[in-house]
């Protein structure tokens, strides 16, 4: 409605702003009480320190206090830095052009609003935060005498605290939020509170941040749309065969074994970035395992079951569908860990000829240095996880998603806190974040085996360290041609840790490193002309030596893999295989039913 002559514009109406703030305060009080009530179990807080953070910081404090001189040095450094900051700010306020004492790192999006630089007050708040954050982090992580696991935990949670305390995360110290509050009369905060309440309701009392417009996407409608048919199904997976698009196809089919922590369609988001669609277009007869999102009835399913009902069953089904007695395998993350064990199993059973070549995306088989995920795996935390799984039969997808989001908290937590709750905006529709939110649960038996034998005890790399279906697993038996792709900025499977596999397998291995992270580095079609990758035909003992001798190439790694895998595909002279026309009949259209299950 238009303003009456002489009236104040709505965004300058102090009464309207006051009413909005009163509504926010009233609803927030109830929100906090409901949240606290939800944390109580039988009148007590369950697992008051489930991540065992307190013990790590107590040990750090004890080590720190044992050397008072270092504490004194750190305090003097802090005061000296603040004096320098005050000096420069005073000179700037007097009109002098002064370089900032502390600037955000390149790519830090938290301080992109111009007010953080142009406004003296907010510039001082920003620099004070950066100064204090860097001092706190360097002091906490510079303590000597901590064991490796404790030091890593202190490092990680200090960063979590520092990120959480950023002035951009709070109403009164974020100029962009303050501006929106004044201009909207506080409606951004009311809308933000509605968003918060909606997320709590969706999470049944636990915060489930909405990262994207979930209504904008539908599996099978505008994501995961590559045409195909489900041709096989068991308790744990559906096997999808994709429709050919070329006049002739390679003789050897291609099986993709994705992780079961998320859905398979990370490799089939949109036609222009779909690895599956691209591989079909190159002439491969592509099959993909679509893992089920399990409920409590599958709590007993083990890592061994995932092998037997996953890749082993899929290889048999592919032979029925196509008549081919062998396939090439592409595997991803935990799907790669399973595939590595499967290859050792097949070699031990003298059945390795079922696989012509194997490709691993961002895969760990030696968990000695398993990155930041290792901080979530110690005796105390595994006990907490197993106590929860004993009640539900699962490690829920939400718990897994929270863990992964913490690895990139500024991008995957705090940016949405600002956008959704402080700015009162709806999240932007983004297919990758839709996939990221579409997580799956993990059966209790499988997850317990995985945590103990891989992350905690690192047994998979040891010959006979684990046994599957009565067969001792020895990764050294893998003589099948192998392509290993790792990503330079991977927080889940650090590339230097994945390199260890090159020294374990006994067959020919090609190791390729690509820029970016766990997802973006893999899902990087050539047409995007993004990132770069590195190759080195030699495989020296250490990743550092490999890196020193590596050659950089612009653009996607996909063409490199295409050239490599063509040596193992047979000739491209086979009649296209139509899903359902072979030895297996079509059950339903791709992407199937399992991928649509949300728990």
Could you list the pLDDT tens digit for every one of the 599 residues in the chain? Answer: 344 433 334 445 677 767 766 776 776 666 666 666 665 544 444 555 666 677 777 888 888 777 788 888 888 999 999 999 999 999 999 999 999 999 999 889 999 999 999 999 999 999 999 999 999 999 988 888 888 888 888 888 899 999 999 999 999 999 999 999 999 988 998 899 888 888 887 877 778 899 999 889 999 999 999 999 999 999 999 999 999 999 999 999 999 999 998 899 999 999 999 999 999 999 999 999 999 999 999 999 999 999 999 999 999 999 999 999 999 999 999 999 999 999 999 999 999 999 999 999 999 999 998 877 878 888 888 888 888 899 999 988 778 777 778 878 888 889 999 999 999 999 999 999 999 989 899 999 999 999 999 999 999 999 999 999 999 999 999 999 999 999 999 999 999 999 999 999 999 999 999 999 999 999 999 999 999 999 999 999 999 999 999 999 999 999 999 999 999 999 999 999 999 999 999 999 999 999 999 87
For the annotated catalytic residues, the residue numbers are 333
Whether residue 132 lies inside any domain: the answer is yes
Contact 455, 373 (CB under 8 A): yes
129 in a domain, yes or no? yes
CATH of the domain at 484: 3.40.50.1820
| Same-domain check for residues 177 and 241 | no
| Domain shared by 263 and 160, yes or no | no
Domain of 331 in residue numbering reads as 228-376+441-596
The domain boundary, picked from 159, 185, 211, lies at 185
Q: Indicate the residue among 185, 208, 241 that finishes a domain.
A: 185
Sign of the torsion angle spanned by Cα atoms 447, 452, 454, 459: negative
| 190 inside domain | no
Shared domain for 456 and 530, answered yes or no, is: yes
User: Quick check: 293 and 397 in contact, CB under 8 A?
Assistant: yes
Residue 73 located in a structural domain: yes
| Number of structural domains the chain divides into | 2
- Residues 460, 576, single domain; the answer is yes
CA distances to 94, 108, 117, 129, 176 from 120, rounded to whole Å, are 11, 20, 7, 14, 15
Supply φ then ψ for residue 528, to 5 degrees: -70, -25
Regarding whether 551 and 446 lie in a shared domain, the answer is yes
- pTM for the full predicted model: 0.89
For residue 137, is it within any domain?
yes
| Per-residue tokens: 157 | 């949670």
On whether residue 79 sits in a domain, the answer given is yes
Task: Based on the fold, state whether residues 155 and 80 are members of the same structural domain.
Answer: yes
Residues 179, 259, single domain; the answer is no
**366 and 497 part of one domain:** yes
Same domain, 302 and 244: yes
Q: In this structure, are 488 and 582 located in the same domain?
A: yes
Domain-located, residue 313:
yes
* Residue at 406 is within a domain: no
- Out of 131, 152, 185, a domain closes at 185
Taking each continuous run of H as one helix and of E as one strand, the counts in the chain are 21, 17
Do residues 268 and 122 share a domain?
A: no
Which residue in 185, 259, 183 sits closest to 439, CA to CA?
259
């Amino acid at each position: 409605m238009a303003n009456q002559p002489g009236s104040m514009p709505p965004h300058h109406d102090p009464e309207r702003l006051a009413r909005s703030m009163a509504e926010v305060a009233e609803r927030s009080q109830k929100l906090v009480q409901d949240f606290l009530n939800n944390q109580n179990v039988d009148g007590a807080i369950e697992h008051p320190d489930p991540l065992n953070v307190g013990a790590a910081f107590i040990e750090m404090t004890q080590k720190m206090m044992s050397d008072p001189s270092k504490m004194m040095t750190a305090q003097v450094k802090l005061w000296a830095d603040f004096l320098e900051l005050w000096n420069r700010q005073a000179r700037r306020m007097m009109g002098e052009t002064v370089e900032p004492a502390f600037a955000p790192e390149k790519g830090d999006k938290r301080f992109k609003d111009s007010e953080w630089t142009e406004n003296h007050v907010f510039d001082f708040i920003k620099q004070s935060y950066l100064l204090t954050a860097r001092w706190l982090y360097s002091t906490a992580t510079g303590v000597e005498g901590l064991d490796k696991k404790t030091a890593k935990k202190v490092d990680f949670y200090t960063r979590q605290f520092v990120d959480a305390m950023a002035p951009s995360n709070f109403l009164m110290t974020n100029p962009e939020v303050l501006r929106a509050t004044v201009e909207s009369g506080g409606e951004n905060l009311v809308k933000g509170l509605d968003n918060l309440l909606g997320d709590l309701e969706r999470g049944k009392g636990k915060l489930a941040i909405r990262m994207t417009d979930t209504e904008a996407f539908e599996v099978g409608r505008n994501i995961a749309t590559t045409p195909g048919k489900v041709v096989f199904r068991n308790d744990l997976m559906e096997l999808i065969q994709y429709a050919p698009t070329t006049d002739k196809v390679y003789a050897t089919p291609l099986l993709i074994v994705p992780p079961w922590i998320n859905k398979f369609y990370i490799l089939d988001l949109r036609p222009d970035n779909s690895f599956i669609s691209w591989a079909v277009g190159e002439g491969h007869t592509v099959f993909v395992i679509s893992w089920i999102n399990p409920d409590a009835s599958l709590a007993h399913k083990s890592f061994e079951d995932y092998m037997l009902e996953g890749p082993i069953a899929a290889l048999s089904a592919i032979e029925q569908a196509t008549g081919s007695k062998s396939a090439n395998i592409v595997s991803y993350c935990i799907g790669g860990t399973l595939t590595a064990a499967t290859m050792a199993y097949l070699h031990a059973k003298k059945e390795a000829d079922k696989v012509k070549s194997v490709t691993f995306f961002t895969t760990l088989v030696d968990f000695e240095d398993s990155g930041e995920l290792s901080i979530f795996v110690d005796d105390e935390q595994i006990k907490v996880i197993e106590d929860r799984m004993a009640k539900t039969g699962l490690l829920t997808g939400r718990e897994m998603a929270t863990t992964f989001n913490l690895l990139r908290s500024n991008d995957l937590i705090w940016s949405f806190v600002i956008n959704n709750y402080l700015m009162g905006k709806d999240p932007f529709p983004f297919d990758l974040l839709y996939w990221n939110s579409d997580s799956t649960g993990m059966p209790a038996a499988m997850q317990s085996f995985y945590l103990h034998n891989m992350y905690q005890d690192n047994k998979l790399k040891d010959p006979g360290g684990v046994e599957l279906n009565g067969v001792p697993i020895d990764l050294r038996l893998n003589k099948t041609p192998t392509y290993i792709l790792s990503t330079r900025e991977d927080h889940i499977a650090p590339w230097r840790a994945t390199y260890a596999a090159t020294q374990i397998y006994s067959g020919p291995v090609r190791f390729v490193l690509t820029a970016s992270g766990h997802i973006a580095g893999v899902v990087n079609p050539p047409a995007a002309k993004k990132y770069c990758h590195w190759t080195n035909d030699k495989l020296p003992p250490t990743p550092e030596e490999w890196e020193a001798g590596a050659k950089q190439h612009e653009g996607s790694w996909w063409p490199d893999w295409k050239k490599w895998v063509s040596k193992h595909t047979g000739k491209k002279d086979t009649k296209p295989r139509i899903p359902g026309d072979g030895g297996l009949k079509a059950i339903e259209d791709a992407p199937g039913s399992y991928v649509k299950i949300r728990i």
